[in-house]
Structure 1
Amino acid sequence: MVMDREELNLLLESAQRWFSDNNSFGARVTSFREGHRQTPEGWQALAEMGWLALPLTEANGGFDADHAARFALIRLAGEHVRPEALETHLLLAPAVVEVSPDQAEALATGAMRLGVADLPDRNGITADTLDGTCILSGRSGPVLGSQDATHYVVFVRDAAGVLRAALLAANAPGLSCEQARLIDKRDTVLLTLDRTPGLWLDQADDVGAGQRLRDLVAAGQVADAAGVLEVGFNLTLDYLKQRTQFGRPLSQLQAVQHKMADIFCDVKQMTALAERLAQEIDASPKGPWPTLPIAKAFVGRRAIRGMGQLIQLSGGIGVTEEYKITHLYRRLHVAATMFGAAEAQLARIGVRDVLQAA
């Protein structure tokens, strides 16, 4: 059942209120040295409101929300710079239920929480299969959604170089975690695996399934970035309307107006790319999604550039950690670099070859 516009608006209105009233962005900025951390009761509240059941089918006790609805909620979470890794749950929970249907209730109630490990810069994780169980060894990249995670999704390349995805319990034997923080001060861990048993989330004969799951996580970062960039633009616009120079608001200066107009175009392009990507995933769940590498590269090339210009327009306060724009910039960096940075995404569509040929 696809959510209609009225149902989606009601969901987003309730989310807007809850995000503002519970562990708000402003409250976290005042204590930024402690990190952008979710409250212990926060995830349970998401479950009680039914958000965690959104991606699950009706047969599994969910609402079968399409990706357009999920992206809208992820984007709103980005606007509020939420510390909860809501996007990993909304996009990967169905894949977990597909291979392990008895986990549907745990996912919907918040008892099962997913952290997703990125690929490391080098080496990585090796895999063997023993009696249908994957045995993993090696070291992962940073984990998105590590705080209170009960399970980790990790990506590994097999002997043929094909990317595959596996699900590991956080208390699995041979698994250890090194605590760290992302640049935006969200908690993360680096996983070390020593013959750690897990469950394949893809079938060996479904070539491309592992890459597809990683692309889903990357798509979540695109939706998150769309919300982050828009709220950064609105924050700066309000500042420019209030701050005066030479007897008039900064927003009336022509050079400032031209700069903001350019950034406004970036905001609208980012939003359009996220919406188109959601439509492509809904139309073709197994891919391909041609907008994904373009949209993810846009985050790393244009969105970050636009946010940097917003910092410049904010003046000296824009570079202080007590002001919100700095934290938005850092969050965009996480969205841009994790699960495929701009260069890697552009390489997938052969941009360099096209430019050289031209």
Structure 2
Amino acid sequence: MDLSYNETQGMLRETLARFLADTYDFESRKKMLASPEGRDPGIWKAIATELGLTCAPFAEEHGGMGGGALENMIMMEEFGKVIAIEPWLQTVVIGGGALKHAGGALAEATIPAIISGDCVIAFAYAEPQGRYNLADIGTTAKADGAGYVLNGHKGVVYAAPWATHLLVTARTGGGRRDRAGVELFLIEANRPGITRRDYPTVDGFMASEVYFENVAIPGEALLTGGIELIERVVDEATMAVCAEASGIARTMVNQTVEYTKQRKQFGQPIAKFQVLQHRMSDMFVEAEQVSSMALMGTLKLDEAAEARKAAVSMAKAKVGRSLKFVGQNAIQTHGGIGITMELAIGHYFKRGTMIEGQFGSIDHHLERFETLAYPA
């Protein structure tokens, strides 16, 4: 089986890699994080308009290049290599993915705005009591004439401070944790009744606690598909962060190898110590496994729901374990300097640590895989 990228995919990778090399060095990233907005909006606009990369995973009828999950994987791996804080995951993978699968007038109107860089979407799905159960939702969307009234609270909404739109999960009926009655809505982020409490996350992003109080939304804001649509989009997002993890793991290995060549002990570089050579060899193997599992899971995203879920959970569990191994050994090899703000490796470790729990921890995905592979 030939798993190499085609010419177009290779061009996408090279284009983004060159751009990030010029604009996303470590010092530039630190300046972005220290700015009031927590990013440079011009970079996202350049990715969309000057490079035209946001069109990659969308169909040609929407102005895209006809790509999909593989193109998202390529982009996310490159973002991971520089721990970019751009909202590709939230806007293109999750928001764009939900619109592609749901279709309809809302997709026709919104996808071109995503491609142009004018629409930034934040995914408001997590609630304090919900853990990783996508159906455990307290936020309600009650029918009101031709529309709905939204009430509730969503936590740790990545990219919400920058968002023009919110993709919100809410319950239109049924009891708590019931799969029936869970729906997905795309609404403008500035609607009356929406308030936010913004804060930086440990991995450098901006997120918000978002509160909805009697927010009136039109009926056309509903994306058809229910809980099955939400699960599919979250599985696609899970594989996207696995691809990001691949870029992070590779970079941590490379930075650790370079550090051991420069750091001297007992009159010689510590890279000559056999025990560290063994450690770095193990780190390399685990980083390669992250890449392999990210690709495997991505290739399974179009399969039937049960097979897709099993593949995603298998991949995420392995990626979580391998990424933790690479990150912890990278920090240990660097010593105390590895966790300082001045050294890049600590920032990669923080983002990797957040990825371990994003869209489901190792234990969660092992349990889901066991349930799917060995049903009672």
One of 164, 167, 184 as aligned partner of 1:153: 167
Count matched residues. 351
1:1-358 superposed matches below 5 A: 5-29=6-30, 33-34=34-35, 37-48=38-49, 49-92=51-94, 93-97=96-100, 98-99=103-104, 100=106, 101-122=108-129, 124-131=138-145, 133-156=147-170, 159-160=174-175, 161-162=178-179, 163-198=182-217, 199-204=221-226, 208-283=228-303, 288-350=308-370
Deviation at 1:61, TM superposition (A): 0.9
Q: Which runs of 5+ in 2 are unaligned?
A: 131-137
Q: Which runs of 5+ in 1 are unaligned?
A: none
Deviation at 1:15, TM superposition (A): 0.8
Measured in 2, the distance between the counterparts of 1:346 and 1:139 equals 29
> Does the Cα contact within 8 Å between 2:309 and 2:369 map onto a contact in 1?
no
In the alignment, residue 185 of structure 1 is paired with which amino acid? G
> Does the Cα contact within 8 Å between 2:286 and 2:323 map onto a contact in 1?
yes
Measured in 2, the distance between the counterparts of 1:197 and 1:260 equals 55
Measured in 1, the distance between the counterparts of 2:318 and 2:214 equals 38
Deviation at 1:212, TM superposition (A): 1.5
In the alignment, residue 136 of structure 1 is paired with which amino acid? L
Deviation at 1:233, TM superposition (A): 0.9
* 1:34–1:134 distance in 2 versus 1, CA, 3 Å: same
Task: Provide the secondary structure at the position in 1 that maps to 2:16.
Answer: helix
- TM-score normalised by structure 1 residue count: 0.89
Residues 146-192 of structure 1: per-residue CA shift (max 9 Å, x gap): 24210111234552522543222101222111111111121111110
Measured in 1, the distance between the counterparts of 2:17 and 2:363 equals 34
> Does the Cα contact within 8 Å between 2:197 and 2:210 map onto a contact in 1?
yes
Task: Provide the secondary structure at the position in 2 that maps to 1:349.
Answer: helix
Residues 179-228 of structure 1: per-residue CA shift (max 9 Å, x gap): 11111121111110113244222334xx5222212222222211111111
Measured in 2, the distance between the counterparts of 1:16 and 1:147 equals 26
Aligned Cα root-mean-square deviation (Å): 2.7
* 1:197–1:31 distance in 2 versus 1, CA, 3 Å: closer
Measured in 1, the distance between the counterparts of 2:144 and 2:317 equals 38
* 1:186–1:171 distance in 2 versus 1, CA, 3 Å: same
Task: Provide the secondary structure at the position in 1 that maps to 2:284.
Answer: helix
- TM-score normalised by structure 2 residue count: 0.85
In the alignment, residue 313 of structure 1 is paired with which amino acid? T
